[in-house]
Amino acid sequence: MALFDLLGRRWVMGILWTLSEQGPCTFRALQSLCETISPAVLNARLKELQAAGFVRKSSDGYLVTDLGLEVYEALRPLSNVSKVWAKALGEG
Amino acid sequence: MALFDLLGRRWVMGILWTLSEQGPCTFRALQSLCETISPAVLNARLKELQAAGFVRKSSDGYLVTDLGLEVYEALRPLSNVSKVWAKALGEG
DNA sequence: TAGCGCGCTATTATTATCATAGCAAGGGGC
DNA sequence: GCCCCTTGCTATGATAATAATAGCGCGCTA
């Protein structure tokens, strides 16, 4: 349940997803990929994710750890669900 | 990404998880299972989840739809991740 | 040394969430 | 009919989270 508490915060899943798909990103690159995130929140989330061991810094910028990659893998099925969901909403 | 926006709100994943595992719940039962959620937020989340088609009302109270169950199934791998994560945090 | 991009902080306004109290409606017993 | 209880939900004021914008300090390069 602590995991839900961490992931259930704005942008957290989006940041993990973006970093996993795009690879290492600089702070500003992440900021522009997330489009509307404010730097204060991005910085806070990056600190939380680093404390959790899901993300770390390297010379190329921020990247996901092996542990963070597991979260991403666990989250990937949601991609299919979102397609089914979009279709269902369109029909309903 | 709209799915992340919906799920990335406080209590949403917890509510889906609880309803999926416990079966149909009344409003007050859900409230006590979530322990610290306030009724205003619970009601708001239930409305959002119903609008999204993940939850619906029945004579036994609130329950997850087939679509909501898919989200739950997609979320279940997180349970394993959380164990690995807890261990990693304990070691690190 | 002046300009540039980068990581990040500061600040204020807006929104979300918490915590508590309580209302309105329905059911059972008398 | 009336009382009492549970249930679903709303109202309210306090507190915390997020948004939006501006800009600082640093390293690099010319």
- Which one of A12, A67, A85 has the shortest CB-CB distance to B8? A12
The CB density around residue B75, as the number of other CB atoms within 10 Å, is 21
Tell me whether residues A7 and B67 touch, CB distance under 8 A.
no
- Which one of B10, B53, B74 has the shortest CB-CB distance to A88? B53
Is the C-beta of residue B61 closer than 7 Å to nucleic acid chain D?
A: yes
Is A10 in contact with B1 (CB distance < 8 Å)? no
Is B56 in contact with B65 (CB distance < 8 Å)? yes
pLDDT bracket for residue B41 (50, 70, 90) = very high
pLDDT bracket for residue B83 (50, 70, 90) = very high
Q: What is the pLDDT along chain A (92 residues), one digit of tens a residue?
A: 889 999 999 999 999 999 999 999 999 999 999 988 999 999 999 999 999 999 999 999 999 999 999 999 999 999 999 999 999 888 87
Instruction: List all nucleotides in chain C with at least one atom under 7 A from a protein Cβ.
Output: 5-11, 16-22
Cα–Cα distance measured from residue B13 to residue A41, given in angstroms and rounded to the nearest whole number: 21
Cα–Cα distance measured from residue B32 to residue B48, given in angstroms and rounded to the nearest whole number: 20
pTM: predicted TM-score of the whole model, two decimal places: 0.92
pLDDT bracket for residue B91 (50, 70, 90) = confident
**Which nucleotide is nearest, taking the CA of residue B11 and each C1'?**
C17
- On whether any CB of chain B is under 8 Å from the CB of A90, the answer is no
Tell me whether residues A84 and B75 touch, CB distance under 8 A.
no
Query: What are the φ and ψ backbone dihedral angles of B61, each rounded to 5 degrees?
Result: 115, -155
